[in-house]
Structures are given as C-alpha cells and as structure tokens.
Amino acid sequence: MEFPRKTFWTVVTMFGMVAGLEYVPEFRNYRLLDWDAVKQVGDFAPSRAMPLEPVEEAVLKPGRVYEKKVVKGQVEPLSDPANSLAAFYEAIERVESGEPGAKVRLAHYGDSPTTADLITADVRGLLQKRFGDAGHGFYLMAKPWAWYGHRGVDSDSSGWDIEASNLVSKKDGYYGYGGVSFRGGPGSRARFRLKEAGTTRVELGFKQVAGGGSIVLEACGERVGDKSTAGEEGDGYAEFAVPESCRDLTVKVEGGAVRLYGIEFLKAAPGVVYDSLGLNGAYISVLSKFLKADHWQTQLQHYAPDVVVINYGTNESVFAAFVDKVFEKELREAIRRIRVALPGKGILVMSPMDRGERNVSGQIETVPALQRLVEIEARVAKEEGVAFFNTFEAMGGNGTMAKWYGSEPRLVGADFIHPMPGGAKIIGNLLYKAMLDGYNRYKTAKRVPELAQNL
C-alpha cells in the first residue's frame, strides 16, 4: 500500500499553520484553536459550571464567578450631574402612572455585541417586565451579517442588495434609523416570525424617490396593504394595521426598484420600546459622519426616542492614534447631531466593555488604549452635559476579560471581545439597574420639596 504523502503533508501543513499563530505576536488574537479548551476535551469529569441565574430585577446573586469579583455586584449609578435624562424619566413615569397610550422609547446604537441583540435584549426584557411591553421596535429588513438577529424575532430574506453604512466604500448617507439600507426589485422578500402575539401595527421605512417601486405586506398569508415608494426624494414610511394574533409577516417588492431601511413592530399597550441598532464593526463615525446629517435628523425625529444611547469604543480601542486624535471630536459631533434632532431628549454615552488581547508572554490583558478611551468618554459626557455609564468599571475594570475567559461558565469568547450570553446578561443587568437607580433618584428628588412643605 502506497504511503499517502499528499494527505500527510496536508495535515502537517495545517498543523504548522495553526500552531504557528501561537508564536507570531501580531496574530495571537486570530488563533484558530484555544489550547486550554483542547486540553479539556479529554476531561470527562462532571461539569463544575455554575448555572446562570435567571434574569431578575434583584441584584445579581453571589456565586463562584461573582465572588471572584468578575463583576462588582452592586449598582453602578449613572453619572448625570446635568440631569440630562429628565425627559427619559418623565416618559417612564407617565407609563408607570398608567397614562393611556404612554410609551417610552430607547435607541441603542452600538457595535458587534448589539448586532445580535446581546445586552440590549436583556435590558429590553427587564424594562418591559417592569414597565410594560409596547412592542419589539425596529428591525433591519434583512440580515447584513449571518449572526444578526433580535431575541423574539426570527427572519429570513432573499433578493436584497445590502449596504451597511460602515462598510460600503461610496457612502451617500441614506441608511435609515438603523444604519443599513436594502435595495430590491420584483421577487425581493423578507419574512418575519414573532415569538409572541400582540403586535397590532407595523411600519416600513424607505427612501422615497421619483419612479420608486411598490411594496406589499402580508400577515399570516393575507395581503393587508401596499405602498408606492415613488415621490419627491426624501424619507417615506408605510404603516399597516395587522391582526393581533398574527405572528408571521412578509414584505415583498411588487414592482419596480425600492430602497428600504427596516420594519418596526408595535403593540397597542403602553410600555417600553427598546431599539437595538448595532452594526458589526461599527465605530463612532457611523453617527458623526456616515449617516447624512439631515437624513438622520429626520429619522430620529420620526421614531422619537426619549433617550439615545451612544455605545461605541470597542473597535476604536485598538487604534491608539484614532483614540488620541479623532475619537473625542467625533463623539462631540455625534452628541451635537442628536441634540439638533431631539432637543430636550436624553443622551447616554455608554462606555465599551473591557477588551482583552494576549501579550507576548501569552497572558490576557486589557488593550492599552481602552482605559484612555473610557476617560475621554467620561470627560466629554461631563463637559457636554449628558449622561455617562462606565460599563468598563461596572463590570470589574482592568483585566476583567481575562477573568471572564477563565470563569466557569465562560463569559466571553476566545477573541476576548464578544460576550457569551451569560456575560451579556451581566452587562444588561448592570445597565438596567443603573437606569432604574437613576429613575428612583429622579422620583425622590421630585418629592423632596413636597415632603418639605408637609413638615
């Protein structure tokens, strides 16, 4: 029998490539195998992993991971000395008091973790459990990335040319509320399946142009309406009433060419709408440059969030020159744009999580520029009079990703960037508790004069 030389050398070459990545510092974070995990393959001992606590409104319960201070375990208050979130808290109070039709809306712009609705799904769930569910909110027309998705919504689509604002080389600035546009013609379709019934209204956002095509909406296989996208150039919207019991919705292009942005799902009930607007690989320039200023302004005014969360920094943190020379200017521009669009509404700058990398000795450490970036965000937020949430410190600060990677259960992936669902749940809980703490402080401050008068 002839020795299989070709197979042998293929195996040797592949092994050399995989192993070699461990010894080239520039490529350590791109390694193909986690050798610690490989060693554990042969460990057949019963799992010692601590089961994750369910999402609760109570403070995170102590356990093996938390006792190691991977997270601090206490509420990290929002920094908001200028009381910039007053309008946000007022909207929550209207919902909590039972005002008919009252809704509070949050727009959370972020990078890759929020692309898959990590963190945002947990905050949404907690806020809606506490104050009521007014609908899922905004969802992109199709998946720009295979892992795009939101908890509670399944989708599939075909026939779309997808343009993400942070990826296309030639940017025209028209990418809608969510930062992505979708071009399609006859045969293009998008289907959405909602986990729960209760949606009574959906709305499609699109670019209106002369000679634009037409779209149709079906609910549970029945045509419920159509809309032409033809008209004077600008933003257009198509609103449809749908049966409350229907959870299966399909958008189709019926004729001509269209450019759509996304769909929103709303319920008739009062409560919270939390828009998760994450883009893979996104950074602050999405808000300060890539979205055309007047177009994004009209989009923000249409959806009218009570607070806009600016949650960037993870991707910027490995480009020290950008952090030191560009980031502050673009963060200020993003804040300025939001203020022009939504005067009097809340803005919350949310720092990135810790980001780890392996040093030359193979140890996981926080990337050098991250702490400087977080300090810039805190200072800019204070000087601009907007709120700030220090995610980095709330989760444990410097070196947290190393602890998360070594914890049981593991809370971050092997890139030391993207949280596992359990890690995302921790961050979501911390942000929710900080928001709730800020709201309770707001209510207390309102009642102090009343109490003083009664003394």
Question: Between the CA of residue 23 and those of 11, 12, 15, 30, 413, what are the distances in Å?
Answer: 19, 17, 13, 11, 20
Same domain, 195 and 229: yes
Tell me what percent of the chain is helix, strand and coil, each rounded to the nearest 5. Answer: 35, 25, 40
Q: How many residues does the chain have?
A: 455
pLDDT at 59: 28
Decide if 182 is inside a domain: yes
Range(s) of the domain holding residue 348: 62-134+270-443
Beta carbons of 300 and 107 less than 8 angstroms apart: yes
Residues 264 and 404 in one domain: no
Whether residue 284 sits in one domain with residue 428: yes
Domain assignment present for residue 250? The answer is yes
164/251 same-domain check: yes
In a domain, 16, yes or no: no
229 and 307 belong to one structural domain: no
Three-state SS at 224: strand
* End-of-domain residue from the set 268, 297, 313: 268
Mean pLDDT of the chain: 87
Residue type (1 letter), 63: G
Q: Say if residue 400 is in the same domain as residue 340.
A: yes
What CATH number is given to the structural domain containing 231? 2.60.120.1360
Beta-bridged to residue 103, according to DSSP, are 271
- For residue 42, the SS3 value is coil
397 is a domain residue: yes
- One domain, residues 310 and 354: yes
- 403 lies in some domain: yes
> For residue 46, is it within any domain?
no
How many other C-beta atoms are found inside a 10 Å radius of the C-beta of residue 407?
20
DSSP, res 271 = E
| Domain stops at, among 236, 252, 268 | 268
Decide if 415 is inside a domain: yes
285: which residues sit within 8 A by CB, 6+ positions away?
A: 166, 330
Residues in a beta bridge with 104: 272
Q: For the ranges 169-173, 211-215, 276-280, 428-432, which has the lowest average pLDDT?
A: 169-173
Tally the domains of the chain.
2
Question: Any idea what the CATH number is for the domain that residue 118 is in?
Answer: 3.40.50.1110
What pLDDT, in 10s, does the model give residues 1-35? 555 666 666 655 655 555 554 444 434 333 444 44
195 and 129 share one domain: no
**In this structure, how many other beta carbons lie within 10 angstroms of the beta carbon of residue 62?**
10
Share of the chain above pLDDT 70, in %: 82
Q: Do 377 and 292 share a structural domain?
A: yes
Answer whether residue 13 is part of any domain. Answer: no
pLDDT in tens, 319-377: 999 999 999 999 999 999 999 999 999 999 999 999 999 999 999 999 999 999 999 99
Task: State the pLDDT at residue 29.
Answer: 39
Start-to-end CA distance of the chain, whole Å, equals 100
Q: Could you tell me if 75 and 153 lie in one domain?
A: no
202-234, pLDDT tens digit by residue? 999 999 999 999 999 999 999 999 999 999 999
Q: How far apart are CA 345 and CA 392, in angstroms?
A: 25
pLDDT at 248 over 50: yes
Rounded Cα distance, 436 and 432, in Å: 6
Task: Check whether residue 152 and residue 76 sit in a common domain.
Answer: no
Claim to verify: residue 299 and residue 422 sit in the same structural domain: yes
Identify the pLDDT of residue 170.
87
Point out the domain boundary residue: 233, 249, 268.
268
Q: Which amino acid is at 422?
A: G
